[in-house]
Amino acid sequence: MIAADVTAKHIVITGGASGIGAETARLLASRGAKVSIGDRNIELGQQVARELTELGYSAQFTVVDVTDVDSVNEFYRQAVNHFGDMHVALNNAGVDHNPARMLDVPDEEFHRNIAVNLTGVWYCMKQALHYMTQSGGGHIINLASIAGTSGAPMISAYGAAKHGVIGLTKSVAIEYARSNIRVNAVCPSFVKTPMVEHVMSGLNDKQKASLINANPMKRLGEPHEIAGAIAWLCSDESSFMTGHSVVLDGGLTA
């Protein structure tokens, strides 16, 4: 199979220090993309960028907190300054949710989820649109979740934020379809990343087994399986797709 071509595309990734973001940065860089990584975790972000540049790939890291509009604006300014016009903005930074029913969820948990998982995407989309309308087009890819396509008990704030991301994806896709700017979402189920390891660490063996066995494939997703789909989205092969949510869940919501 021929790999999706992302050669020389400048791809800006938030949350690129860990998990799905880091794996996607590795795959895209190895296929010739220029990768601007942003994350609030400076040490891990620098580590991923260094790993890629030492392999001879084009990558750079800038610290960003997606909940802070000034920090987001500066991150995009530096990315465009470094590698030139941005072709893809991958809005991937996110936080998890401590499992609980709504009455037991502190309001701070709701505000934290909305701030990172929804407002953060809003700020990043605005910056991406700002640069893409000037440069003649681009593709915004938002990391949502199957918790954004169907009800997900015990993580109500996370689900609310991810449903919001899909709403933003659809509305903005329609608004900018004539401007050569596409907007799509990616919706994984549980994928083996530090985020899910953290969630699993709060479960007993029986709960872990039932979480895994709920999936028709009887396993969690692997980060490279999400990265592969994102690479295809980043390529021109997905050119007629906009306003869509790509579900990668081993059949869980089939």
- What is the set of active-site residues? 158
Q: Which residue from 251, 246, 119 is spatially nearest to 183, judged by alpha carbons?
A: 246
Taking the CA of residue 172 as centre, how many other CA atoms within 13 Å lie in the half-sphere pointing to its CB?
25
For residue 83, the minimal CB distance to ligand NAI (Å) is 19
For residue 159, the minimal CB distance to ligand NAI (Å) is 11
Q: Which residues here bind ligand NAI, judged by CB under 6 A?
A: 14-15, 17-21, 39-41, 64-67, 92-95, 116, 120, 143, 145, 188, 190-191, 193-196
Nearer residue to ligand NAI within complex by CB, 5 or 96: 96
For residue 246, the minimal CB distance to ligand NAI (Å) is 12
Nearer residue to ligand NAI within complex by CB, 41 or 78: 41
Edge to edge, what strands does the sheet with 34-39 contain? 58-63, 34-39, 10-14, 88-91, 138-143, 181-188, 245-248
Calpha distance 121→165 (Å, rounded) = 7
Contacts of 247 (CB under 8 A, 6+ apart): 146, 149, 187, 253
Nearer residue to ligand NAI within complex by CB, 5 or 74: 74
Calpha distance 22→92 (Å, rounded) = 10
For residue 182, the minimal CB distance to ligand NAI (Å) is 19
CA distances from 226 to 66, 96, 145, 201, 207 (A): 22, 18, 11, 22, 24
> In this structure, are residues 17 and 45 in contact, taking their beta carbons and an 8 Å threshold?
yes
For residue 128, the minimal CB distance to ligand NAI (Å) is 15
CA distances from 101 to 49, 157, 159, 164 (A): 39, 10, 12, 20
Residue 4 has what DSSP assignment?
Answer: P
